[in-house]
Structure 1
């Protein structure tokens, strides 16, 4: 039995997903990595084993166009998927750029 805490790192949006790609390349052990984005094309390029397209109905997978209100609605639309990522985690790190949507 391990005493290590269950750690998850979630990258949100373009900047967050870029961070997750770099962490994936680093091949870190004992950490689960997740990428969440409203832009399906950017998400496909992300090097993460766990990807979540958020706000698919409201954005059509085309991103938010730096519209923070649309980003908020997209997160609300996908709140159950986002909650599922958190299940079982003892420590969660969020990484994002906060530059737009």
Structure 2
């Protein structure tokens, strides 16, 4: 049966949301939009208002306004986490009604590492099948960023149904 034969057909699809968190997640969402992916709702979440203005996503959420005043997390995942917790109600509204939520972020920085686990837990608690799709930092980015990423990945794995990790170093090998 086609959509023209049954207008209700469109309503039978799963409600899928892709949430890009932080700079890396926002870049991933922009890339998906540029590639013409349809059938999902794209959302960008960031603590940095200037970065958020560069998002192509139709839905944008700046988190942690009281904490960061729109200036970002400064690479501190604790700030990213607190920003997401401050904006918990807005995040819950954003994921409301979703059947499936993909949370994408680059691990190792502040907003992605700190906020993505909080957002994932909120989505899963709302009843959505929740999938994390994240990148690990390049080796050349250093041990601090790697440790931050490892800690964030542990936090994120507790809040998702499935976690897909992509090492950035592997991407260099493919290209």
TM-score, length-normalised on structure 1? 0.94
* Aligned residue in 2 for 1:95: 104
CA distance in 1 between counterparts of 2:21 and 2:33 reads 15
Count the aligned residue pairs.
101
Greater CA deviation, 50-59 or 2-11? 2-11
TM-score, length-normalised on structure 2? 0.56
- Greater relative CO (CA pairs within 8 A, separation 6+): 1
1:27, distance to aligned residue in structure 2 (A): 2.5
- Superposition map of 1:4-15 within 5 A: 4-15=13-24
* Aligned residue in 1 for 2:79: 70
Q: Give ranges in structure 1 of 5+ residues lacking alignment.
A: none
Q: Alignment RMSD, CA only? A: 1.0
* Aligned residue in 1 for 2:35: 26
Please list every run of at least 4 consecutive aligned residues from structure 1 whose deviation after the TM superposition is greater than 3 angstroms: none
CA distance in 2 between counterparts of 1:85 and 1:23 reads 19
CA distance in 1 between counterparts of 2:81 and 2:97 reads 25
1:66, distance to aligned residue in structure 2 (A): 0.9
CA distance in 2 between counterparts of 1:24 and 1:82 reads 21
SS in 2 for 1:96: strand
Residue 64 of structure 2, aligned match among 31, 40, 55: 55
SS in 1 for 2:14: coil
CA distance in 2 between counterparts of 1:28 and 1:68 reads 30
**Larger helix percent:** 2
* Aligned residue in 2 for 1:35: 44
2:93 corresponds to 1:84: yes
CA distance in 2 between counterparts of 1:45 and 1:74 reads 20
